[in-house]
Chain A
Amino acid sequence: MMNQLLKGIAASPGLAIAKAFVLKSEEYTPVQTTVGNPELEAERFMNAVNQARAELEQIRASTEEKLGAHEAQIFEGHLLILEDPDLIDVIVDRIKTESVNAEFALYEVSQSFIDMLNQMEDELLRGRAVDIQDVTGRVMNRLRGTDSGNLSQMTEPCIIIAEDLTPSDTAQLNLQAVQGFITEIGSRTSHSAIMARSLDIPAIVGAGAGIRNIQPGTMVVMDASEGVIVVDPGVDELAGYQEKKREYDRRKSVLAQWVNRTTASKDGKLVELAANIGKLEDVQKALDNGAEGIGLFRTEFLYMGRSQLPTEDEQFNSYKYVLEKMEGKPVVIRTLDIGGDKELPYMDLPKESNPFLGQRALRLCLDRPDLFRTQLRALLRASRYGNLKIMFPMIAVLDELLEAKRILQEEKQKLAAEGVELAERIEVGMMIEVPAAAISAHVFAKEVDFFSIGTNDLIQYTMAADRMNETVSYLYQPCHPSILLLIRMVIDAAKQEGKWVGMCGEMAGDETAIPLLLGMGLYEFSMSAGSILPARELIARLSQSEWSGLAEQALTMHGQQEIQAFVQNNKKGEQ
């Protein structure tokens, strides 16, 4: 086939161009036979199990060496399957009582588990059927004296095309030769996809039956960041992808240099680049992208998608996990921000005609102290496992802050009386997202340790434009003078009291806004993990003192377009 375009699931990003290496998987269904000596047959089965165990142990060890203990755990799980009483004992029992051949008993019993898992609703669990296939297939090969072919022996640069890759296949890939892999089935959460991301090789999974037609040796382009596969590309197309690959590789190596650096401007001003997270899985991604902290941990996920409120212990375990994982780096945890566009069916909150202006976030928490106190206790108990900073959302007037702080103080004292160990110092801050709070930031600055500006809501409330309503989306203007002036007021007010200011909205990662924010003296920029490295690279090219003057100039301008053009022009000079 010539020049065909296929699509799959982008499982591990990157771009590869190489010849196809087609891996054929063999279907084998054993026939039932009766054996004369069941005791001997059971022994033959256990020998195969032991051989498979030795092989797996070797794969586990080499994976640990290559990828670390965490990835190697997959194979500890596989080794455990070989000791599973509901598998191994049941098979041995069937051989002995029914005098059947080992191959048949193994097939029947393992297939019953595979069938059960394949019927599960949970995609992750369906994916685990592959693990059983991987392990029992290995035992089957030992019983039959066959070999699945050693993937480590590939020597020419290639892209592997397969129906599916088992974890042990993936672990054994010769990375000198294998540029990437494409599978017919599988999902982003299958073990081979997870391992591809750790191995940092491009992978596309779930590409469908179309890939069966790819002939061995055909040139294949895989753009795994988009999930696009081009089979046998034309000359011009190939040249285009080669150029794209060079650019991708260059960008990647540049960014890789920034992972372990601190963030500093050209003139040596240190700032902090942090990540926004909303799930526990996001923490690893933040670390992988060089986050110097968590600037916003949204706790709503703990409350959503369930039928009752999370208990104090459940919350404690989640907070402790994030704090420990960040190893002493700052972690700003925002107390519950429910209401507005986020609802909890089980709380049966009254319908409001204007939820964004209604009883949301801290307003709700102050009305429902039971809810609020449970979360604060969980936070305080977790505090000794890292560098916790507690942040209250949606504050408009000082009384709200003082009441929240009073309740926090009460819970602190209660826990201390119960003999619970707390961190020596826990910073307390607030979000600035209501214009009233921004305008009176000087009042709040005396009462907090830090501010974090939530720009998505600050812009929505300042412009009186619903951010869900597309017809007014033109009013979402982060670089409008009104927004920049509010931000500067907040930063100046905090400086007066010696407090730091962060930002945790989209704007903090916006490459046009960053020079202005740096110039105005913002200390912490919290953004989605993927934006951190480009931001670090950008900040290193900017002079804070120069941009301080340029930001002042920008504030005298009339509109966002003018300001954006002004920033672009001055950024060019910095390169």
Chain B
Amino acid sequence: MITKSFTIINPTGFHVRPTKTFVQTASQFPCKVNVINKGKKVNGKSSLSMLTLGIATGDEVTLEIDGEQEAEAMEALGKLLVEVHE
């Protein structure tokens, strides 16, 4: 299992559009993806659960990835977290 933290700079936090891209990308990987924000941990392949994290600009979000292709998933998903989606 690997974990890494990322700071969100997207101006509107991490809402429907970025979450959609994140979940679609996460779903392409066989490994288990957990997303942690402010102490709450949810399934990174569920857009609804992701929304309940209330990720806002400036939040530090941790990814906890376990299983096949975990390194590739970390790279792809980490990049999405720090990008500007508008």
Residues of A within 8 A of B (CB): 73-74, 76-77, 80-81, 84-87, 113, 116-117, 120-122, 124-125, 128, 131-132, 189, 191, 279-281, 284, 302, 305-307, 310-311, 313-314, 317-318, 320-321
* Interfacial chain A residues near B86, Cβ < 8 Å: 280-281, 284, 321
Q: Cβ of B69 < 8 Å from any Cβ of A? A: no
Which one, B24, B43, B54, contacts A120 given CB within 8 A?
Answer: B54
Find out whether the CB atom of B83 lies under 8 angstroms from the CB atom of A317. yes
* A89 to B, closest residue via Cβ: B46
Q: How large is the interface on B (under 10, 10 to 19, 20 to 34, 35 or more residues)?
A: 20 to 34
Find out whether the CB atom of A128 lies under 8 angstroms from the CB atom of B12. no
* Interfacial chain A residues near B83, Cβ < 8 Å: 317
* Interfacial chain A residues near B48, Cβ < 8 Å: 81, 84, 86-87, 113, 132
Question: With the chains together, A321 CA to B12 CA distance in Å?
Answer: 14
Question: With the chains together, A406 CA to B54 CA distance in Å?
Answer: 43
* Interfacial chain B residues near A125, Cβ < 8 Å: 13, 15, 51, 54
* Interfacial chain A residues near B9, Cβ < 8 Å: 302, 310, 314, 317-318
* B54 to A, closest residue via Cβ: A120
Query: Known: A122-B56, A313-B82. Is A73-B15 also a contact (CB below 8 A)?
Result: no
Q: Cβ of B16 < 8 Å from any Cβ of A? A: yes
Expressed in whole angstroms, the minimum distance between the Cβ of A115 and any Cβ of chain B is 10
* Interfacial chain A residues near B57, Cβ < 8 Å: 305-306
* Interfacial chain B residues near A76, Cβ < 8 Å: 20
Q: Cβ of B19 < 8 Å from any Cβ of A? A: yes
Give the residues from 39 to 85 in chain B that come closer than 8 angstroms, CB to CB, to chain A: 42-43, 45-49, 51-52, 54, 56-58, 82-84
Given contacts A87-B48, A191-B16, A281-B86, 9 further A-B pairs with CB under 8 A are: A120-B54, A121-B54, A122-B54, A122-B56, A128-B16, A281-B12, A306-B58, A314-B9, A317-B82
Question: With the chains together, A60 CA to B1 CA distance in Å?
Answer: 38
Question: With the chains together, A73 CA to B83 CA distance in Å?
Answer: 17
Find out whether the CB atom of A77 lies under 8 angstroms from the CB atom of B47. yes
Query: Known: A74-B16, A122-B13, A122-B56. Is A80-B24 also a contact (CB below 8 A)?
Result: yes
Q: Cβ of B7 < 8 Å from any Cβ of A? A: yes
Expressed in whole angstroms, the minimum distance between the Cβ of A395 and any Cβ of chain B is 29
* Interfacial chain B residues near A80, Cβ < 8 Å: 20, 23-24, 47
* Interfacial chain A residues near B84, Cβ < 8 Å: 280, 317-318, 320-321
* Interfacial chain B residues near A306, Cβ < 8 Å: 57-58
Find out whether the CB atom of A124 lies under 8 angstroms from the CB atom of B13. yes
Interface of A is mostly: helix
* Interfacial chain A residues near B52, Cβ < 8 Å: 113, 116-117, 120
* B19 to A, closest residue via Cβ: A77
Find out whether the CB atom of A124 lies under 8 angstroms from the CB atom of B46. no
Find out whether the CB atom of B20 lies under 8 angstroms from the CB atom of A280. no
Question: With the chains together, A113 CA to B47 CA distance in Å?
Answer: 11
* Interfacial chain B residues near A311, Cβ < 8 Å: 7
What are 17 A-to-B residue pairs whose CB atoms are below 8 Å? A74-B16, A74-B17, A77-B17, A84-B46, A84-B49, A85-B43, A85-B46, A86-B43, A113-B51, A132-B48, A189-B12, A191-B16, A280-B86, A305-B57, A307-B58, A314-B82, A317-B82
Expressed in whole angstroms, the minimum distance between the Cβ of A316 and any Cβ of chain B is 10
* Interfacial chain B residues near A307, Cβ < 8 Å: 58
Expressed in whole angstroms, the minimum distance between the Cβ of B60 and any Cβ of chain A is 10
* A189 to B, closest residue via Cβ: B12
Question: With the chains together, A124 CA to B83 CA distance in Å?
Answer: 19
Question: With the chains together, A281 CA to B9 CA distance in Å?
Answer: 12
* Interfacial chain A residues near B47, Cβ < 8 Å: 77, 80-81, 84
Question: With the chains together, A279 CA to B23 CA distance in Å?
Answer: 26
Q: Cβ of B30 < 8 Å from any Cβ of A? A: no
Question: With the chains together, A307 CA to B59 CA distance in Å?
Answer: 10
* Interfacial chain A residues near B54, Cβ < 8 Å: 120-122, 125
Question: With the chains together, A311 CA to B20 CA distance in Å?
Answer: 26
